[in-house]
Amino acid sequence: MSQAETAAAVRAPSPLWGLSLLRSEVGTTFRRWRTLALLGVLAAVPVLVGIAVKVETRGGGSGGHDGGGPAFISQVTNNGLFLVFTALAATLPFFLPMAVGVIAGDSIAGEASAGTLRYLLVAPAGRTRLLLAKFATAMLFCLVAAFVVAASALAVGALLFPLGDVTLISGTTISLGEGLLRAALIAVVVAMSLMGVAALGLFVSTLTNSGIAAMATTVGLLITVQILDQFPQLHAIQPYLFPHYWLSFADLLRDPVYWDQMLRNLGLQALYAAVFGSAAWARFTARDVTV
Amino acid sequence: MEPVIATLGLTKRYRGGQLAVDGLDLVVPRGSVFGFLGPNGSGKTTTIRMLMGLIEPTSGTARVLGEAMPGAGRRVLPRVGALIEGPALYGFLSGRDNLVRFDAADPTADPRTRAARVEGALDRVGLAGAAGKKARAYSLGMKQRLGLASALLRPRELLVLDEPTNGLDPQGMREIRSLVRQLASDGTTVFLSSHLLDEIEQVCTHAAVMAQGRLLTQGTVADLASSVRGRLAVTTPDTADAVRVLKEHGVIDLVVTDDRVTGELPAAGPPDLADVNAALVRADVRVRAFGTQRASLEDAFVALTGEGFDVAG
Ligand SMILES: Nc1ncnc2c1ncn2[C@@H]1O[C@H](COP(=O)(O)OP(=O)(O)OP(=O)(O)O)[C@@H](O)[C@H]1O
Ligand SMILES: [Mg+2]
């Protein structure tokens, strides 16, 4: 209890101890009932899509037609692996970013409304460090969410449909093993596509003391931007909207792979992360915490 | 020796324009148990927020443990335990996991000793039995205890406690008081804000009084109480006669409540109390009790803030 002892403990911390906050953040986020519910909803989407496809083909629908719906859906009956691509294409425009918006939007504002923010800050977590831990956790959630969709789709696809060699968009055929590898790569690309939403949500989260308001604002912005991306009149600004290149992940199913759009997507996401990450940092480090 | 807390002209005007703290010069000596008193809205919590680096002062400086806040927070705050405006917990985590979480937020806290320190802190506030329960199922007093435990996760040089006995039962209050005494005897400086004058008087060595954002006085509790003179009190059924006799002997500010007459002894040339008593008896005043009351901190407080505990707009 002597003061010398306290001072020594402060002077010689291991740099690794600083990672405790990130570990705690990840543990706290993934132990929340809400996080698990979001992941549960995401896991349910491929189940519904798979069942719908199965029922439709049984009912006499010809398997080969290409009558709209999410990408790759017509191929699912031939190869269950395509359900992974279908499910990711179906959840990427709304379900996935909405889930990320909830997690990122609540990250700081939720701590503020619970009052725990002041105790994290006097611990002292450090404002920059806390923000980084929050952003890293949101990105980890993106990755987990994408893999939950992919894994659920793979399980449903294997259960309801045959699995086998994969015929790519370019016409070439690859083995099932390589198909699985590409599916994993696509899940990673999908997760990284959500970086812009995560950064936007984090920034919104530093603006308010209400977790609900931050989540609603982030999801509202997401919907607005998705709508703007549909208007042909706005084509001049569309390349700068974060969802614009989202579906470019399909280019990973070509041989050779088209990287152009995908790199543009990743560049755009990095730009959003830089802009809104800095804005969040500027706001959060200068802010009075009175709750 | 440098004081544990020293502020100079510390001022905070909130964004709404409210001047919450106005030119505060506060000195908290090392090793003291320092009571921070003031009516609702007098700026106690605002001061504590500035000391802990949660809000930026509008002007003035605050030094905590010899370093300037909020700049030196990373070095200062690990040595400070704080309870600010009541506890705040993660309802979906157990009491124990709440403490683990707050300890993990401190980059200077050793993860290898974390579990043991958490158990120690739970023990210290009497929560060991309820540590596995979800915090949302805690009662107000249990939450308050858990908040205190998080301030005690590591040996601290300074404890800042904003109304620590809020919501506690009498037994809990007693435990907190004895905890504070024990910590103080270990050399921890305790800075304690409270409305309960009685509580401050029982545990504090020093006190400061705030009103409307300004510091009215600070010093040792003994000095503060002695700055208010004691009152003479006579208990008698013959209050009218007693008042007449006391007036003749120069006692001023006489107040009659039921069968009690109290009054202030004049500062210059106070009468011998033995003479006053004899005069009362001679005048056939039937005296049941006679004596001076020691001035309490409450008297000092009321003398300083006038109306006592009214919230100023
Ligand atoms: N976040 C805020 N924004 C604007 N004004 C505030 C804020 N917090 C407090 N105030 C105002 O500042 C003044 C001081 O408030 P403070 O919370 O510091 O008082 P206090 O002494 O802690 O009171 P209490 O005993 O009720 O806890 C009050 O007039 C209050 O209305
Ligand atoms: Mg207060």
Q: Report yes or no: A173 and A166 within 8 Å, Cβ to Cβ.
A: yes
DSSP letters spanning B143-158: HHHHHHHHHTSS--SE
ipTM above 0.90, yes or no: no
CATH number for the domain spanning B166: value is 3.40.50.300
Same domain, B51 and B196: yes
pTM of the model: 0.86
| CB-proximal residues (5 Å) to ion ligand 2 | B 45
Mean pLDDT by 10 residues, chain A (291 residues): 47 74 94 94 94 77 50 81 92 93 94 95 93 96 96 94 85 89 93 95 95 92 90 86 86 85 92 96 93 84
Give, in order, the Cα–Cα distances in Å from A54 to each of A46, A59, A97, A272.
12, 9, 27, 39
B95 assigned to some structural domain? yes
Same domain, B177 and B217: yes
Kindly report the number of other CB atoms within 10 A of residue B309's CB atom: 13
Kindly report the number of other CB atoms within 10 A of residue B240's CB atom: 10
Cross-chain residue pair B150–A115, CB shorter than 8 Å: no
Q: Is the CB of A288 under 6 A from ligand 1?
A: no
Same domain, B62 and B202: yes
Query: Which of B226, B248, B271 finishes a domain?
Result: B226
CATH number for the domain spanning B279: value is 3.30.70.100
Q: How far is A11 from chain B (nearest CA, A)?
A: 8
Find the helix or strand (DSSP H, E) in which B254 lies.
strand B252-257
A290 assigned to some structural domain? no
User: Looking at residue B211, what is its pLDDT?
Assistant: 87
- Domain region containing B265: 232-294
3-state secondary structure at position B193:
strand
A34 assigned to some structural domain? yes
B281-291 in b/e burial notation, b at 16+ Cβ within 10 A? eeeebeeeebe
Same domain, B205 and B244: no
Helix axes A82-91 and A127-160, enclosed angle (nearest 10): 140
Which own/partner contact pairs does A69-76 have at CB distance under 8 Å and 24+ positions apart? A71/A247, A71/A250, A72/A250, A73/A49, A75/A167, A76/A50, A76/A157, A76/A161
A291 assigned to some structural domain? no
B241 assigned to some structural domain? yes
B60 assigned to some structural domain? yes
Minimal Cβ distance to A21: which of B54, B104, B147: B104
Q: Which residue of B has its CA nearest to A126?
A: B74
A185 assigned to some structural domain? yes
CA distance B31 to A201: 46
Helix axes A127-160 and A195-207, enclosed angle (nearest 10): 140
User: Looking at residue A209, what is its pLDDT?
Assistant: 93
B305 assigned to some structural domain? no
Number of domains in chain A: 1
Strand partners, B73: none
Same domain, B239 and B104: no
Chain B positions touching A31 (Cβ under 8 A) are: 92-93
B185 assigned to some structural domain? yes
User: Looking at residue B81, what is its pLDDT?
Assistant: 95
A76 assigned to some structural domain? yes
**Cα of B195 to ligand 2 centre, how many Å?**
9
Same domain, B123 and B253: no
Q: Which residue of B has its CA nearest to A18?
A: B107
A84 assigned to some structural domain? yes
Ranges of chain B with pLDDT below 50: 308-309
Q: Report yes or no: B154 and B186 within 8 Å, Cβ to Cβ.
A: no
B239, HSE (Cβ side, Cα atoms, 13 Å): 12
Q: What are B75-114's pLDDT values in tens digits?
A: 999 999 999 998 999 999 999 999 999 999 999 998 999 9
- Domain region containing A72: 3-285
Same domain, B221 and B287: no
B91 assigned to some structural domain? yes
User: Looking at residue A63, what is its pLDDT?
Assistant: 43
Cross-chain residue pair A122–B82, CB shorter than 8 Å: yes
Same domain, B196 and B241: no
Number of domains in chain B: 2
A44 assigned to some structural domain? yes
User: Looking at residue A64, what is its pLDDT?
Assistant: 45
Sheet holding B158-162, edge to edge: B80-83, B158-162, B189-194, B33-37, B206-211, B214-220
User: Looking at residue B306, what is its pLDDT?
Assistant: 66
Query: What is the β-pairing status of strands B189-194 and B158-162?
Result: parallel
Chain B positions touching A286 (Cβ under 8 A) are: 56
In this complex, is the C-beta atom of B99 within 8 Å of any C-beta atom belonging to chain A? no
Q: How far is B197 from chain A (nearest CA, A)?
A: 26
Q: How far is B89 from chain A (nearest CA, A)?
A: 6
Q: Report yes or no: A105 and A206 within 8 Å, Cβ to Cβ.
A: no
**Residue with tokens 């590591």, as numbered in its chain:** B154
Cross-chain residue pair B111–A289, CB shorter than 8 Å: no
Minimal Cβ distance to A17: which of B90, B111, B186: B111
CA distance B142 to B134: 11
Same domain, B137 and B240: no
Q: Which residue of B has its CA nearest to A125?
A: B105
Same domain, B120 and B189: yes
Minimal Cβ distance to A123: which of B86, B92, B102: B102
User: Looking at residue A2, what is its pLDDT?
Assistant: 45
Give the alpha-carbon dihedral of B243, B247, B253, B255, to 10 degrees: 0
Same domain, B262 and B160: no
Same domain, B84 and B127: yes
Q: Report yes or no: B151 and B58 within 8 Å, Cβ to Cβ.
A: no
User: Looking at residue B208, what is its pLDDT?
Assistant: 92
**Cα of B165 to ligand 2 centre, how many Å?**
13
Cross-chain residue pair A3–B187, CB shorter than 8 Å: yes
